[in-house]
Amino acid sequence: MQKGERTRQAILEQATNLASVVGLDGLSIGNLATHTGLSKSGLFGHFGSKENLQVETLKAASSLFKDRVVVPALAVERGVPRLNELFERWLSWDTNTGLEGGCIFITASAELDDKPGQARDFLVLRWREWNEVIRRIAEGAVERGHFRSDLDCTQFAYDLNNIFFGFQHAARLLGNEDAYKRVRASFERLVRDSKR
Amino acid sequence: MQKGERTRQAILEQATNLASVVGLDGLSIGNLATHTGLSKSGLFGHFGSKENLQVETLKAASSLFKDRVVVPALAVERGVPRLNELFERWLSWDTNTGLEGGCIFITASAELDDKPGQARDFLVLRWREWNEVIRRIAEGAVERGHFRSDLDCTQFAYDLNNIFFGFQHAARLLGNEDAYKRVRASFERLVRDSKR
DNA sequence: GACAAAAACGAACGTTCGTGCTTTTATAGG
DNA sequence: CCTATAAAAGCACGAACGTTCGTTTTTGTC
Three-state secondary structure along chain B? CCHHHHHHHHHHHHHHHHHHHHHHHHCCHHHHHHHHCCCHHHHHHHHCCHHHHHHHHHHHHHHHHHHHHHHHHHCCCCCHHHHHHHHHHHHHHHHHCCCCCCCHHHHHHHHHCCCCCHHHHHHHHHHHHHHHHHHHHHHHHHHCCCCCCCCCHHHHHHHHHHHHHHHHHHHHCCCCCCHHHHHHHHHHHHHHHHHC
Q: How far is the CA of B40 from the C1' of C5 (A)?
A: 21
Please determine, for residue A101, whether its predicted confidence score (pLDDT) is greater than 90: no
pLDDT of residue B62 exceeding 80:
yes
Q: How many of the other CB atoms lie within 10 Å of CB of A184?
A: 15
pLDDT digits (tens, 9 = 90+) for B93-147: 988 888 888 899 999 999 999 999 999 999 999 999 999 999 999 999 999 999 9
State the pLDDT at residue A32. 96
Instruction: Give the right CATH number for B51-195 from 1.10.150.130, 1.20.1630.10, 1.20.120.610, 1.10.357.10.
Output: 1.10.357.10
SS3 B120: helix
B113, A161: Cβ pair inside 8 Å? no
Is the per-residue pLDDT at A94 higher than 90? no
Contact A48, A27 (CB under 8 A): no
Give the span between the Cα atoms of A191 and A194, in whole angstroms.
5
Q: Are B46 and B93 in contact (CB under 8 A)?
A: no
Which residue from B25, B174, B185 is facing A124, i.e. has the nearest CB? B174
Please report residues contacting nucleic strand D, using a CB cutoff of 7 A: A 2-5, 7, 37-42, 45-46; B 2-3, 28-31, 40-41, 44, 48-51
Using a pLDDT cut of 90, give the percent of chain B over it. Answer: 91
* For chain B, domain boundaries: 51-195
**Arithmetic mean of pLDDT over chain A:** 95
Predicted pLDDT at A36: 94
Q: For A39-54, what is each residue's pLDDT tens digit? A: 999 999 999 999 999 9
Q: Do B124 and A173 touch (CB under 8 A)?
A: yes
Fold for the domain defined by A54-195: Tetracycline Repressor; domain 2 (1.10.357)
**CA distances for A79 relative to A76, A184, B3, B18, angstroms:** 9, 18, 65, 45
The answer to whether A23 and B111 are in contact (CB under 8 A) is yes
Round to whole Å and give the CA distance between A149 and A139. 9
Distance, Å, A3 CA → D5 C1': 13
Taking only the tens place, the pLDDT of each residue in B70-96 is 999 999 999 999 999 999 999 999 888
Q: What is the pLDDT of residue A98?
A: 81
Question: By a Cβ cutoff of 8 Å, what residues of chain A touch chain B?
Answer: 21-23, 25-26, 101-102, 106-107, 109-114, 120, 123-124, 127-128, 152, 155, 158-159, 161-163, 165-167, 169-170, 172-174, 182, 185-186, 189, 193
pLDDT at position A53 is 96
Chain B closest-CA separation from residue A3 CA (Å): 34
